[in-house]
Structure 1
């Protein structure tokens, strides 16, 4: 993909809309939609790297209600000709056609390679990659098993969605009872994964979500691992200007005014 002069590529991840309750996530959703409305002015493309929703499951004729502001804004953006790409996360991995058919957004279930202006990116959500986390990797196999999904689909949506949402918001990170801490390069699985990928092929940037920490780490000569942070506490996102990728923090006019006054 060639990035036109003056255009940018934007990356965001881990909104967890709907958690811990839809009412409490509404402010975050409004803020995210405002960001989408602003970046569409110079966006060549927008990449959403998973966990946009804290829970998402597509029945044959039903999807979880809510999130109208976000879905409507994404439809508006793709209708205007700006491509949006979606990578499923561990909270919304049960996507099976709705985004493609309704929003014209391609959905990826595995990391993908992209090249922008001859700069090579490796992009994904990040869950289940690298060494360790064997318990989650076993659970992911269950969650993505076609028979397990078929069984869950037989639950009435009122029961299935409510059960899944209950289990999802038990996540202490979303409830605010747990802080994510940087573990050090040797213990960050996605850092180790990136370094191993470099042994077979060069990438200028590895871009992931999942860890909820805004990070930029050198993983090799002219190669960086970038974690996008989240839209829960950090409100950070990535911007590629055609030459380099940087992390930025989104602050609304109200937030900026409050900061100035203090």
Structure 2
């Protein structure tokens, strides 16, 4: 089978205590990768595939072996693999490059893919203007001195601390969503869509960069496919906590889809 499609996904949060069965989520993600392996030219993971990731000089997080093994297998078969750093897995070094052949991106990427120009990003940088605390944490997590000091602490303390903080944050976010304070998904006719910060960013950015056709983000755990001016569009990829969702580009059509849960 000819490799004719490019796939995009984000926000699996592998290893998160929020998953009722973390192993089942990882296995579901692996089955999805296996299902697209034969036709995938490239796979772009747009951040937060891991709920926590910090690489010490000679130590990387344990777990995720099934996922990383499948990614390595796909790379060895000629599939181009890209990982974007998200706000949960910002501390990538060179482990994924050496072990699974991945290309690592710490910033947004503008790239031409089969005739169209895409701007790809996790979305946390674009979203951090929402409030001061978001902007502060974004800068703190990327500060070289802060990273050096954090690395000086033994993993027995840092791993548990980071995962517990992530779990509390996720529970608060999902509780707000359950009470209607955050929408589950946007649709083109949903009146709140215009208030979504990533949509506002895409609109303003597109005015200055008319060459960009499609904007793709993760981060917000929402499903969105919205037309901008002309034939431009912005997509938010959902997640693997609720939707098991991803986007596909075949050179003619860009669309969101969901992996069927068994």
Q: TM-score, normalised by structure 1?
A: 0.90
Structure 2 unmatched ranges of 5 or more: none
Q: After superposition, where does 1:87-236 map in structure 2 within 5 Å?
A: 87-129=84-126, 131-173=129-171, 176-179=174-177, 180-181=182-183, 182=186, 184-202=192-210, 203-236=212-245
Partner of 2:74: 77
Structure 1 unmatched ranges of 5 or more: 255-262
Query: Deviation string for 1:69-103 (max 9, x for gaps)?
Result: 01111111111111011111100001111111211
CA distance in 2, matches of 1:65, 1:168: 17
CA distance in 1, matches of 2:205, 2:19: 38
CA distance in 1, matches of 2:249, 2:172: 28
Q: CA deviation at 1:115?
A: 0.8
Query: 1:172–1:178: 8 Å Cα contact kept in structure 2?
Result: no
Query: Deviation string for 1:198-239 (max 9, x for gaps)?
Result: 111121110111111110011221110001100110111101
Q: CA deviation at 1:27?
A: 1.1
CA distance in 2, matches of 1:6, 1:66: 30
CA distance in 1, matches of 2:112, 2:172: 33
CA RMSD of aligned residues (A): 1.9
Query: 1:230–1:236: 8 Å Cα contact kept in structure 2?
Result: yes
Query: Deviation string for 1:8-27 (max 9, x for gaps)?
Result: 00111100111116772111
Query: 1:20–1:175: 8 Å Cα contact kept in structure 2?
Result: no
Report the CA distance shift for 1:76/1:220 in structure 2 as closer, same or farther (over 3 A).
same
In the alignment, which of 30, 33, 37 is matched to residue 36 of structure 1?
33
CA distance in 2, matches of 1:225, 1:178: 24
Q: Secondary structure, in 3 states, of the residue corresponding to 1:207?
A: strand
Partner of 1:240: 249
CA distance in 2, matches of 1:58, 1:84: 19
